[in-house]
Structure 1
Amino acid sequence: MKMKKFIAPVLSLTLLMPGIAGAASAPQTPMTMMKASVNTPAADLRANLDHLLSEHFALAVTAMAKAYDGAKDADAAYKALDQNALDMQPAIASLYGDAGAKEFERIFRAHNKYTDDLVKATKMGNQAGIKQAQDNINGFVEEFSTFLSTATEGKLPKAAAKQALKVHEDLVQKVFDEYVAGDYADAYKAYREGFKEMFDVSKALSTAITTQMPEKFENTKADTKAADLRSALNHLASEHFALSALQMQEEFDGRTAASNALVTAEAGNTADFKAAIASVYGNDGANAFEKIWVTNHVNAQSDYVKAVKNNDATARAAVEKRIDGFTTEFATFLDSATAGNLPKAAGQQALTTHENQVQNVLDQYAAGNYDASYTTNREGFKVMFGVGQALGNAIVTQFNDKFQEPTTPAPAPVMTTVWMQLNSKMLKINDKTTNMDTTPVLWKNTTYIPLRFLSEGIGATVKWDKKAQQVTVMAGDDTLEFWVNNNVMEVNGVKKNVGATVFVNKDGRTQVPLRFIAELLNWDVKWAQKDGSITLTKSM
């Protein structure tokens, strides 16, 4: 079957492809559209959070189950969970500094311990211990939601953060409770719900951060159609890896009920993947995907487990040959479906890496090298986010117009004019006239202006520290600090020479040299010697 045949039904896209209006409508005002991309700073932030948060969930519930069972790999699972928390710190530090990262570590790592305490108390039937652990978890929800709201300056409101964290903790608890009860089908159904929820959290958090710090992310957005696509593919690919690795362990250990429940969960993941493919390439494409994906990929996993368990080299070689065939066939499928935007060679390399990591996770587990197995597990999980990025990029490149966002024209600059006059209390800012309680003055051949009135007049905030004899001006992202009787000031912590001494006049107002403050803030200055008037202009 030729892939071109199922590229045509793009008008019915519903899942990954943004909707396209089909009915005729009234003429609309033309909008400027920006070329879509999954590779933006904001989309990268969201993908990074997708990875770390979803991995946290997967490792948390796995570590709890392993600890409850007293499994030999329980310690390794918890170490991996703790390392996940540590791996979040550089991202936090890059945004909120070392102090923010340390506070995050204190709160987040502690909550991992609370879930471990819950497992131990449950295993012992210690009701007081269970209540204490649950109280600690509720305390974490309160404290961490406050942290997130404060860090993002309210861009992620505390109420929203608290609700998301509560949903997360409730789903972690549900997975564990169902697992303890032996209801593995419901446990892994809840697992899939909780795993998906982490991607909703990462979208909300990345949107808050990029709204808070637009320039740091080059004014790109985390909630574009292209970023949504990349995240959706991240979700499906990483969930596939997490479920596969866990299912193969359970089958190897002979835990049939848990293994079967995970097979069902994997089938759900495959169905979601198929629906996603259908939304882009139609039902023919989805059916072709399913046949390739299941036959020599998902189904081959069970045969690989049997070969490893029986130490059957011949059977293992046969399975590996099937899997090699899958990587070739699926890479060809992706190349054709994406019209060459995901080349076969690149696709096959990524798929081969994925398959090798899935196999290595089990091989190391079977050999009792649990720390190595979880290290490989984490590496393989991370690779899936590269897969989501590559496939998302191919689809967005192929159907770019379907993912484009309307651009918001930059507001026209507004010219601000400030007028003052020597020995006059009148201050004019554009059409608004204010009477100051002091005046600009000429002293030692230098024109001085009252700092507070100019600053507040243009929307800055001024603070006076009497003890330190210090004036602080906060203008946008800049902080200016002046000291009375000093010719040195600071801009964002960097010292600058004012060129003349800052002083307090007889009216108790801080006066600063006009020329210096104008140049510092990029104002144009016109001085009329005839009447002593000063005109400052700036496009804002």
Structure 2
Amino acid sequence: MRARDVGSRRHLFLLLCAGMAVLLSAGPAISTTAAAGPAAHGTAAGPAAHRTAAAGSARASSADLAVRLQALLGRHSVLAADLMRSRIRGDDSFAQAANAALGGNTDAMTTLVGQLFGAATAEKFRPMWSEHIVALVAYAGAVADKDDGAKVHAREELVEYEEDLARFFAGASHGRLSPKAARAAVVMHVGHLTEQADAYAAGDYATADRLYREGYRHTYDLGLTLADALLPAADRATLRKPVWRLRSRLGEILAEHAVLLEDVNRAAVTNTADFDASADMINDNTRDLAAAVDTLFGAATARRFQSLWGSHVELLVAYAGATAAGKPDRRHETRAELGTFEKDMAAVLAPATGGRMSAADLSSALQDHDRMLLEHADAYAARDYRGAQDIAGRTYEHMFALARRLADGFGATVAARLPQGGAQTGYGGLAGVAGTR
């Protein structure tokens, strides 16, 4: 299989400048099994795994669980879109793995809803959520088959789901979330997924990927809207604290970075037509990362790491291409170059941490990040889609564990630099900073 010529695409990655600059205050390598991380593994978890997740959630604060709700909802949007796209491509093996991952995500969300709002609420939530996934897959199948009748029927099912789920959330909020607002949020979520499927099938990958990102961000923020409406007043007050807001926003952007890098690596491995659009998505995410670094530390810090970080991303994409092309020498070279990058970036960042993290610890954190992404590329190239989904889920979790560590390390003074706002804007978050959002 021919590898993509990623060297000629350097201009697409010039904005990949400051993602790891947010590591300035990180401690040693972050565990991917933190209780507050989203239990959204690539394969459907068994009963023992869910008991473990529930026990971890029981020890977590409501603020922890609110981030977890955001993370799981964002992951749902990504997995649903990936499943719909694989159905449109006729990629049945990938579709099966994505479906299993989506099932695991639904199980984790149901467990979390029970932790947040009680078992009775969770029992009502699961069937409605599962039915909406079935309808989304049916819609994608109709698009793939060019069956207008089936598409209309699937859309009717989705409208019914929208009404039911909106009433469910509005009722659970005891008046804090209006039925109109609840329905608007659900309608937008479904619209993002169905419209991106239509665009993807039409070969309009730029539009499909714009909707892919919008869907992720909207669904992630929906988690905050729901938490703010459904949690007790004392818990809701925590969601307005600067460190929590920073933790939430960093988690959103860093997790999306991992998702989009995995997507462009998938496109590189399979040499699909959406590679260019996937690369452009990485640029868009990096604008958000650069805006975050600019807001928290200033433009000079963001510019300082531009060259290193851009080269880092190119190396990861080059590794995926070399894997697909069966070039072991190039894969080995890329791994070695990544090792050099990790040491170089650590040497640049360590002094800026004020002694809170050594160059060795920072290099270790970078190695963990790169290792998971390389393993994902290997698994995908080997057509081990279940394994790739599992690695993607662990990588996603790692980003939220890292975001928590970073937010705590930066502290309230830095976190207070985030713009203020209401729940509808994620309490300010970084929405006002990233001009493309």
Please state which band the TM-score falls in when normalised by the shorter chain.
Answer: 0.7 to 0.9
Could you say what secondary structure the match of 1:73 adopts?
Answer: helix
Q: Which has the higher contact order (CA 8 A, sep 6+)?
A: 2
Structure 1 residue aligned with 2:386: 371
Structure 1 residue aligned with 2:177: 156
Provide the TM-score with structure 1 as the length reference: 0.63
Structure 2 residue aligned with 1:207: 228
Does residue 196 (structure 1) correspond to residue 196 (structure 2)? The answer is no
Q: Compute the displacement of 1:302 (Å).
A: 2.2
Aligned with 1:266 (options 282, 285, 299): 282
Aligned with 1:313 (options 328, 331, 338): 328
Structure 1 residue aligned with 2:258: 241
Structure 1 residues 158 and 350, CA, compared in 2 at 3 Å: closer, same or farther? farther
Structure 1 residue aligned with 2:304: 288
Q: Which one-letter code corresponds to 2:267 in the other structure?
A: E
Structure 2 residue aligned with 1:103: 124
Q: Which whole-Å CA distance do the structure 2 matches of 1:383 and 1:137 have between them? A: 33
Q: Compute the displacement of 1:99 (Å).
A: 2.5
Structure 1 residues 329 and 151, CA, compared in 2 at 3 Å: closer, same or farther? farther
Per-residue CA deviations over 1:212-268 (Å, capped at 9, x if unaligned) read 5x3xx4x7521333222112211211111111111111111111x301100011011
CA contact (8 A) 1:76 1:374 kept: yes
Q: Which one-letter code corresponds to 1:49 in the other structure?
A: L
Q: Compute the displacement of 1:79 (Å).
A: 1.3
Does residue 119 (structure 1) correspond to residue 134 (structure 2)? The answer is no
Q: Compute the displacement of 1:198 (Å).
A: 1.9
Structure 2 residue aligned with 1:26: none
Q: Which whole-Å CA distance do the structure 2 matches of 1:51 and 1:266 have between them? A: 19
Q: Which one-letter code corresponds to 2:157 in the other structure?
A: N
Percent identity reads 25
What is the Cα-based RMSD across aligned positions, in Å? 2.4
Per-residue CA deviations over 1:358-395 (Å, capped at 9, x if unaligned) read 11111111112111111111111111111211222222
Q: Which whole-Å CA distance do the structure 1 matches of 2:416 and 2:314 have between them? A: 37
Structure 1 residue aligned with 2:82: 62
Could you say what secondary structure the match of 2:305 adopts?
Answer: helix
Q: Compute the displacement of 1:209 (Å).
A: 2.9
Q: Which whole-Å CA distance do the structure 2 matches of 1:170 and 1:333 have between them? A: 44
Provide the TM-score with structure 2 as the length reference: 0.77
Aligned with 2:249 (options 232, 245, 249): 232
Where does structure 1 lack aligned partners over 5 or more consecutive residues? 1-5, 8-39, 406-540
Q: Which whole-Å CA distance do the structure 2 matches of 1:56 and 1:313 have between them? A: 35
Q: Which one-letter code corresponds to 1:268 in the other structure?
A: D
Per-residue CA deviations over 1:99-153 (Å, capped at 9, x if unaligned) read 3212111110111110111111222222221111111111111111111122222
CA contact (8 A) 1:341 1:397 kept: no
CA contact (8 A) 2:253 2:289 kept: yes
Where does structure 2 lack aligned partners over 5 or more consecutive residues? 1-20, 23-59, 421-437
Does residue 168 (structure 1) correspond to residue 189 (structure 2)? The answer is yes
Could you say what secondary structure the match of 2:176 adopts?
Answer: coil
Q: Compute the displacement of 1:327 (Å).
A: 2.6
Structure 1 residues 336 and 236, CA, compared in 2 at 3 Å: closer, same or farther? farther
Q: Which one-letter code corresponds to 1:58 in the other structure?
A: V
Structure 1 residue aligned with 2:44: none
Structure 2 residue aligned with 1:298: 313
Structure 2 residue aligned with 1:254: 271
Q: Which one-letter code corresponds to 1:261 in the other structure?
A: A
Structure 2 residue aligned with 1:361: 376
Structure 2 residue aligned with 1:221: 238
Structure whose alpha-carbon radius of gyration is higher: 1
Worse-matched range after superposition: 92-101 or 334-343: 334-343
Q: Which structure features the higher share of helix residues?
A: 2
Per-residue CA deviations over 1:305-340 (Å, capped at 9, x if unaligned) read 122123322211211122223333334444433434
Structure 1 residues 46 and 320, CA, compared in 2 at 3 Å: closer, same or farther? same
CA contact (8 A) 2:209 2:281 kept: yes
Could you say what secondary structure the match of 1:300 adopts?
Answer: helix
Per-residue CA deviations over 1:255-301 (Å, capped at 9, x if unaligned) read 1x301100011011112211211112212111113222111x21112
Per-residue CA deviations over 1:474-515 (Å, capped at 9, x if unaligned) read xxxxxxxxxxxxxxxxxxxxxxxxxxxxxxxxxxxxxxxxxx
Q: Which structure features the higher share of strand residues?
A: 1
CA contact (8 A) 2:376 2:388 kept: yes
Q: Which one-letter code corresponds to 1:352 in the other structure?
A: Q
